[in-house]
Amino acid sequence: MNHRTRIGIVGTGLIGKGIAIEVVKQQDIELAKVLTRRDLNSMGEYPFQDVLTNSADDFFEHIDVMVECTGDVIYGTEVIDRAIKATIPVITMNAELQVTTGSYFAKRGFITEAEGDQPGCLASLHENVTAMGFKPLVYGNIKGFLNTDPSMEDMKYWSNKNGVRLDMTTSFTDGTKVQVEQALVANGLGVGIAVDGLLAPSSDDINKAGAHLAEEAKKAGYPICEFVVAPKAPPGVFITAEHDVRQKDALRYFKMGEGPYYTILQNFHLCHLEVMKTIRRVINEEKILLNNSVNPTVSVAAIAKRALKIGEKIDKGIGSFQVRGEAVDIKANPHHVPIGLLVNAVLKKGIAEGEMITFDDVELPESLALQAWIETIEAVNKVSVGN
């Protein structure tokens, strides 16, 4: 009766610190450990010094639930592997990791994305609207801006202005982040995409955009994940859905319009402030909100932003000025390299601007993340990738 659930957080950036601040306010849970790779002597500004550790052994010895928010696919995969092997439930706010290695872990233990970022918010909204009898056709993400090839100068300016890492700022701007998020939603909710790279219409009228995308979903014959570029719209998510025609008069009265498509908008997503809802869900219900599923159908491929040369090194694909990510159908693109795996990668071939990078084009260092992806892709496609 007196047990307090011990929460461990991996990551000390904006999200990790924000989650920690909320966790320590709770009466029935405690912030037990925070695992970081940073030098502890350099972290005098961190508000909870007593829980910081560089030791994974120390970390896992003292926690009951892990929240991973490193933003790092390779390192995050290694840490989650330890948690899964220790049967510790894993909550992530790392869609990039989920679409790369999340399915590997979904087969082995408890892993869920958190509410707060758009994928978790869409999963929560899905539960709400389907409980009301709606039949979703479009799972929509609202993006205020898009520049698929931004300049280094602009990205440094916005990175400094917003206090967000350069690679993250670039990933948000060039569309990689939203492509990753929608791939995760597609896999987690068992829906699809209309086209590789997504349709991504531009409109500040979310109702009209939702109706247009609903028509595309009807043509495709299945619900789709999409995003709308809408500079004047709120930074949230939406679902466009159908409903029983017998509810048409009631929905009109409820100011939902004439139908046949109804758009339900959540006009915010508050990142780490919403994570406590998922922590409660895991502790009280032992229920997954969203993960990449054991049988994913969508991945995020790396597309060259410019011509790339033989021998050129890609330090980190996500947020780079060399490549950007596009959501793609896995079976139609079985040899693509997920952008999350492009870390310390060396090109074996020249790549033209706009070309998709495949396993034949690049040399990747060995990692658990690479092994996890190969297992996943071979299960999906029944083909061998790499050498």
**pLDDT per residue over 180-208, tens digit each?**
999 999 999 999 999 999 999 999 999 99
H or E segment to which residue 182 belongs: helix 176-189
* Backbone region of residue 345 per phi and psi (left: phi > 0; alpha: psi in -120 to 50; beta: other values): beta
Phi, psi of 79 (to 5 degrees): -70, -45
pLDDT exceeds 70 at position 74: yes
CB 59 within 8 A of CB 247: no
For the chain, give the percent of residues with pLDDT over 70.
98
Rounded Cα distance between 190 and 194, Å, is 14
CB 63 within 8 A of CB 91: no
Residue 2 binned pLDDT confidence (cut-offs 50, 70, 90): low
Give the pairing of strands 29-35 and 111-113.
Answer: unpaired
Closest CA to 282 of 126, 118, 115: 115
Phi, psi of 247 (to 5 degrees): -95, 5
pLDDT score of 102: 98
**pLDDT per residue over 233-250, tens digit each?**
999 999 999 999 999 999
Rounded Cα distance between 14 and 121, Å, is 19
Rounded Cα distance between 51 and 81, Å, is 22
Q: Please, what are the domains in the chain?
A: 5-116+273-285 (3.40.50.720), 118-269 (no CATH), 298-381 (3.90.1210.10)
Query: What's the token pair of residue 97?
Result: 């990791």
Residue with tokens 């009109």: 252
pLDDT exceeds 80 at position 382: no
For the chain, give the percent of residues with pLDDT over 90.
97
H or E segment to which residue 324 belongs: strand 323-329
Rounded Cα distance between 196 and 24, Å, is 43
Query: What's the token pair of residue 284?
Result: 């009280």
